[in-house]
Amino acid sequence: MTRTPPLRRVLLVLFKVGLAVFLLLGVAVVGAQAVGVLTADPALVSGAADGLGTAMTVVAGATGLLGFAMSYVFRWESTGED
């Protein structure tokens, strides 16, 4: 059995955590906005995006950069085929 290098393990864990966090934030934003629409509360609809949108975007961007770094560390190759 081969051992996974520490950098690969760390990147994979960080990627999974980032993915879970930004997806949960996205669900929270959409859920709060849905409640705002159902209760006719425009402040809740816009407030959800204002309050959680920045955090969600930052986490999503960082997770995307982790995925990009993983492509080099894991030496993934693109075949160029669709």
| Three-state helix/strand/coil letters over 44-76 | HHHHHHHHHHHHHHHHHHHHHHHHHHHHHHCCC
Q: Which residues contact 32 (CB under 8 A, 6 or more apart)?
A: 44, 45, 47, 48, 52
Model pLDDT for residues 27-44, shown as the tens digit of each residue = 999 999 999 999 999 999
Give 56 or 80, the one with higher predicted confidence.
56
Is the confidence at residue 80, as pLDDT, over 70?
A: no
Distance CA 81, CA 22 (A): 30
Is the confidence at residue 77, as pLDDT, over 80?
A: no
Return the DSSP state at 81. -
